[in-house]
Structure 1
Amino acid sequence: MTTSQEDLLPATRRALLHRIAVAQAEGRAPSLVAAVVRDGRAVWHGSRTSVDGHAPDENVQYRIGSITKTFTAVLVMRLRDEGVLDLGDPLEKHLPGTGAGEATIAELLAHTGGLAAEAPGPWWERTPSSLRPALTDVLGEQPLLHSAGRRFHYSNPGYTLLGALVEELRGASWEEVLRREVLEPLGLHRTSAHPQAPHAGGWAVHPWADVMLPEPAEDLGRMAPAGQLWSTTGDLARFAAFLVQGDDRVLSAESLREMRTPAAPPEAADVAAGYTYCLGLEIRRSGERLLVGHTGSLPGFLACLTFSVEDDVAAVVLANCTSGPLLSALGADLVRIVAEAEPRIPEPWRPLKDIDPSVLELAGQWYWGTQAFVLRLTADGFLSLGPLAGGGRRSRFRACGEGTWTGLEGYYAGEQLRAVRRPDGSLSHLDLGSFVFTRQPYDEGAPVPGGVDPEGWRGIG
């Protein structure tokens, strides 16, 4: 991927370079490479030190570890969108005999299936895949540590099962399906299951001495869907843009929004850290900013892909060391530097081209009991309902026809908003999931549940 260094101001580019330089030096990484994406394309690339005697560019491969899980999740969501499976289906329905079949597909995607974090036996990331030729070797005799659906417990074997599910339903290997359905359509030609030159070698850096030890690069075999992939900052920049915008050849923007929606009950420590897991993606809070993406690690490598949907800025960072720089914090800083130094310029406001008078009639102030709400018509064709002031329930609504709309987020997600009219066609009230919204607080002319006191409003005598 070619990038134009003129897309960012010189001061911003220097701040980005300074940040990765500090991270590489303090984290003692043999090499570190990063990219920033804005408006759907890479606008900056930076690197420190060298790979094979040359500064690594956007085409040098590094191992990306668990970012692989996001790719696997995209494959599963494609199967869902095609109607091949439902996320609520138990795994057993499509992949019988695993011993973990009571977990649903959604629970496996969200790491709430109750499975162990790792495979039994030797450290699977540093040992040959021949030690785990079958799913039973990945899961062990007791694959479930917790009741399915009750708690978040990160599980590499869970994503191994999802990869096996893809293979079962597609009739081809996970690697082949991934290449055909995701990598090729998105132009990720430098992303692969095995390293392709030029690529970095993985290193362990001694914690108390400035010396290094080469790490083995094992083929993960059955565990590949959890962490096998190699990629570049160029390819991951394209992938980050896809995760924000969608691509109907691969997965719609709506399905990607679903992937970015929290799906796992967070542990107490995760709540304090501002962390939650979605469907193949993580959310991390950095100050007031919510960052979506995934991190990855395998012996010899660290990786991070993170983006802010609100700022439309993404960052990719790769390093070839087992431990060292905290890439999640580094990625967050790269996003922050660009978002604060060069804030997103909003699209110009434009009026709607046309509007149904019966819909326009809904706009304005409404009351739920005594709380004031405002319903607005937005240029994207949605209705937006929220409190007139302060906090409270709010949501956008998509038209469903015949005077009804469906909530898109928050408390009202999936709930139906209905405009109720009197026999003469005049507007009476709004019904939102059984809640009645009226033009006046407890409008006596509307069918308010429980009725309205006939003596009306009064003071204290």
Structure 2
Amino acid sequence: MSKKLATMVRRVQAEARVPALAAALHRADRPLWEHQVGPAGAESQFRIGSVTKTFTAVLVLQARDDGLLDLDDPIGRHLDLPAYGDLPLRRLLSHTSGLQREPFGDVWDTLLAPDADRLLAELDRAERVLPTARRFHYSNLGMSLLGHAVARLRGGTWGEVLEDRVLRPLGLSATTVQPTDRAVTGYLVEAYSDHAKPEPPTDFAGVGPAGQLWSTAGDMARWGAFLADPTALDPDGAVLAASTLDEMRWPLTTTDETLWSAGFGLGLILVPQGERIVHVGHDGAMPGFLAGVYGRRPAPAGLGDGTPRAMGCAVLGSSGTAVATIELAHRLLSAAVEEDPAEVPPWTPGEPAPEAYRSVLGRWWGEGFEYVFFWRDGVLRARGADDPPTRPPAVFAPEPGHPDVLRGVSGREVGELLRLTRAADGTVVRMHWATYRFTRDQQTFSGD
């Protein structure tokens, strides 16, 4: 398997003409796989560009979980700003604030980024180019504001807070704000010759929370695995609760309304890979560098495609124009699952359903359609009788102190109540799910 992956990496390096290319694949059931081509080793650092945004987003959600902010707070509640203080944090995280892409000035022309104080002071010279909540519009400026807000709440710089609250706890020791002596050079490879021209070194100062970090492929593969499957790397939720990462991965907007090929959550790009498969992470681009860092989400037990736990991939390249660098991360994830899938755990008998719910099990009818209610892994579940096996079932949990009232915790009608009606002998004879009546036989809405 490793030979096939290595061949894929070497082909991209040769065909896309990338001076140095490093790839790594992390999964819980195998040792870390790494491969480099060109003047790069396992410890070589590359600029990861906008992958940095995923770290800033995690810091924001940490602060929310710690009660320091609410995602619907206006940014002006946490930063003293001359303009746009009304923009909600949630909109800045999902790039739906309408704020212009870059800070005021020709940053990409001069390569002179403002420091944090100047970036904030000059915010009134930037534009809100679209109405808030209208559509996706990528904004480095918006993500930078979030990074500085968290830094102010925590009482340090953005880099200090990141090191203390994310990098060190997850063991990402090769990820740094400034390049080390292991950093590779980034290049522009000329379109019509094989000449590679070094890009100038850049420090993006106040825009750092949107794109400053340097890292190795190994560190970033681990980070991708965390974004997809946090309980495998952070079982106690010390960095971030798994439920919070679920929230971050929920798509809030599409990135391109003409293609619908990717979505955006709270700081995370979501790339569908077919039925039930999603890659979650981010691309990165800086002068002379491109990066693709993604994790592959494991499907629920019994519905998997062979994706192992804690699966993440990173591909880092030292060419600013070799887009195949980013695409390779997705291809390596898919190839690894296809060629070397996770072991299929054997089925083992479980405990019977509790007596109180046994009369719920089986087939019911609601709205003219048939559903199957069943007990598995200690919870009541339901699915449409004609649903494909890959569609996740509804999962219910009883309301505290009310065993005959259950709430959907995932799947269809999540959050809605399932109310049980019993006959005199305790048998469930009717149910109401999201207020719709469910009966053992097919009935009209009038009960005929």
Q: TM-score surpassing 0.5?
A: yes
Cα distance, 1:13–1:387 mapped onto 2, change above 3 Å: same
Of 94, 108, 130, the match for 2:92: 108
Residue in 2 aligned with 1:37?
26
Identity value in percent: 35
Cα distance, 1:128–1:342 mapped onto 2, change above 3 Å: same
Of 128, 135, 138, the match for 1:154: 138
> Given the alignment of the two structures, is residue 244 of structure 1 paired with residue 228 of structure 2, yes or no?
yes
Residue in 2 aligned with 1:262?
251
Asked if structure 1 preserves the Cα contact closer than 8 Å seen for 2:188 and 2:197, the reply is: yes
SS in structure 2 opposite 1:358? helix
Greater Cα shift, 399-408 or 21-30: 399-408
Greater Cα shift, 99-108 or 412-421: 412-421
Cα distance, 1:125–1:70 mapped onto 2, change above 3 Å: farther
Asked if structure 2 preserves the Cα contact closer than 8 Å seen for 1:99 and 1:143, the reply is: no
User: What is the rounded CA distance, in whole Å, between the counterparts of 2:290 and 2:86 in structure 1?
Assistant: 33
Of 364, 367, 373, the match for 2:365: 367
Cα distance, 1:410–1:73 mapped onto 2, change above 3 Å: same
User: What is the rounded CA distance, in whole Å, between the counterparts of 1:50 and 1:337 in structure 2?
Assistant: 25
Equivalences for residues 204-223 of structure 1 within 5 A = 204-223=188-207
Asked if structure 2 preserves the Cα contact closer than 8 Å seen for 1:35 and 1:42, the reply is: no
Residue in 2 aligned with 1:352?
350
Asked if structure 2 preserves the Cα contact closer than 8 Å seen for 1:107 and 1:149, the reply is: yes
Aligned residues: 428
SS in structure 2 opposite 1:129? coil
SS in structure 1 opposite 2:172? coil
The ranges of structure 1 where at least 4 consecutive aligned residues each deviate by more than 6 angstroms after the TM superposition are: none
Of 272, 282, 292, the match for 1:294: 282
> Given the alignment of the two structures, is residue 387 of structure 1 paired with residue 384 of structure 2, yes or no?
yes
Cα distance, 1:71–1:420 mapped onto 2, change above 3 Å: farther
Cα distance, 1:293–1:251 mapped onto 2, change above 3 Å: same
How far residue 423 of structure 1 moved from its aligned partner, in angstroms, is 6.4
Cα distance, 1:42–1:420 mapped onto 2, change above 3 Å: farther
How far residue 204 of structure 1 moved from its aligned partner, in angstroms, is 1.2
Residue in 2 aligned with 1:17?
6
Greater Cα shift, 413-422 or 390-399: 390-399
Residue in 2 aligned with 1:170?
154
Q: What does the per-residue CA deviation read over 1:187-211, in whole Å, with 9 as the maximum and x for residues that have no partner?
A: 1111110011211111111111111
> Given the alignment of the two structures, is residue 144 of structure 1 paired with residue 128 of structure 2, yes or no?
yes
Residue in 2 aligned with 1:309?
297
Q: Give the AA of the match of 1:294.
A: H
How far residue 137 of structure 1 moved from its aligned partner, in angstroms, is 5.9
User: What is the rounded CA distance, in whole Å, between the counterparts of 2:407 and 2:182 in structure 1?
Assistant: 50
How far residue 393 of structure 1 moved from its aligned partner, in angstroms, is 9.1
User: What is the rounded CA distance, in whole Å, between the counterparts of 2:279 and 2:366 in structure 1?
Assistant: 34
User: What is the rounded CA distance, in whole Å, between the counterparts of 1:77 and 1:132 in structure 2?
Assistant: 21
> Given the alignment of the two structures, is residue 276 of structure 1 paired with residue 271 of structure 2, yes or no?
no
SS in structure 1 opposite 2:49? coil
Asked if structure 1 preserves the Cα contact closer than 8 Å seen for 2:115 and 2:205, the reply is: no
Greater Cα shift, 162-171 or 323-332: 323-332
Asked if structure 1 preserves the Cα contact closer than 8 Å seen for 2:82 and 2:121, the reply is: no
SS in structure 2 opposite 1:186? coil
User: What is the rounded CA distance, in whole Å, between the counterparts of 2:152 and 2:109 in structure 1?
Assistant: 24
Cα distance, 1:161–1:41 mapped onto 2, change above 3 Å: farther
User: What is the rounded CA distance, in whole Å, between the counterparts of 2:113 and 2:209 in structure 1?
Assistant: 13
Asked if structure 2 preserves the Cα contact closer than 8 Å seen for 1:159 and 1:226, the reply is: yes
User: What is the rounded CA distance, in whole Å, between the counterparts of 1:399 and 1:42 in structure 2?
Assistant: 41
Equivalences for residues 415-434 of structure 1 within 5 A = 415-422=416-423, 425-434=426-435
SS in structure 1 opposite 2:253? coil
User: What is the rounded CA distance, in whole Å, between the counterparts of 1:201 and 1:117 in structure 2?
Assistant: 26
Cα distance, 1:367–1:125 mapped onto 2, change above 3 Å: farther
Q: What does the per-residue CA deviation read over 1:105-158, in whole Å, with 9 as the maximum and x for residues that have no partner?
A: 221111111111222311348612347742346645243111111211111111
How far residue 372 of structure 1 moved from its aligned partner, in angstroms, is 0.5
Q: What does the per-residue CA deviation read over 1:264-288, in whole Å, with 9 as the maximum and x for residues that have no partner?
A: 24432341xx111111111113455
Cα distance, 1:41–1:216 mapped onto 2, change above 3 Å: farther
RMSD over aligned Cα, in angstroms?
2.4
Q: What does the per-residue CA deviation read over 1:310-334, in whole Å, with 9 as the maximum and x for residues that have no partner?
A: 3233211000111114223211110
How far residue 408 of structure 1 moved from its aligned partner, in angstroms, is 3.7
SS in structure 2 opposite 1:99? coil
Residue in 2 aligned with 1:285?
272
Greater Cα shift, 160-169 or 67-76: 160-169
Residue in 1 aligned with 2:442?
441
Residue in 1 aligned with 2:327?
329
Cα distance, 1:98–1:431 mapped onto 2, change above 3 Å: farther
SS in structure 2 opposite 1:218? coil
> Given the alignment of the two structures, is residue 67 of structure 1 paired with residue 62 of structure 2, yes or no?
no
How far residue 296 of structure 1 moved from its aligned partner, in angstroms, is 0.4
Equivalences for residues 83-94 of structure 1 within 5 A = 83-94=67-78
How far residue 337 of structure 1 moved from its aligned partner, in angstroms, is 1.1
Q: Give the AA of the match of 2:346.
A: P
How far residue 344 of structure 1 moved from its aligned partner, in angstroms, is 2.1
Asked if structure 1 preserves the Cα contact closer than 8 Å seen for 2:96 and 2:132, the reply is: yes
Q: What does the per-residue CA deviation read over 1:240-284, in whole Å, with 9 as the maximum and x for residues that have no partner?
A: 23223322110122111211111124432341xx11111111111
Cα distance, 1:417–1:362 mapped onto 2, change above 3 Å: same
User: What is the rounded CA distance, in whole Å, between the counterparts of 1:423 and 1:80 in structure 2?
Assistant: 48
How far residue 85 of structure 1 moved from its aligned partner, in angstroms, is 2.0
Equivalences for residues 183-198 of structure 1 within 5 A = 183-198=167-182
How far residue 20 of structure 1 moved from its aligned partner, in angstroms, is 0.7
User: What is the rounded CA distance, in whole Å, between the counterparts of 1:138 and 1:388 in structure 2?
Assistant: 59
SS in structure 2 opposite 1:150? coil
Cα distance, 1:366–1:148 mapped onto 2, change above 3 Å: same
Residue in 2 aligned with 1:451?
446
SS in structure 1 opposite 2:174? coil
SS in structure 1 opposite 2:252? coil
Q: Give the AA of the match of 1:34.
A: A
Q: Give the AA of the match of 2:386.
A: A
Residue in 1 aligned with 2:301?
none
TM-score normalised by structure 1 residue count: 0.86
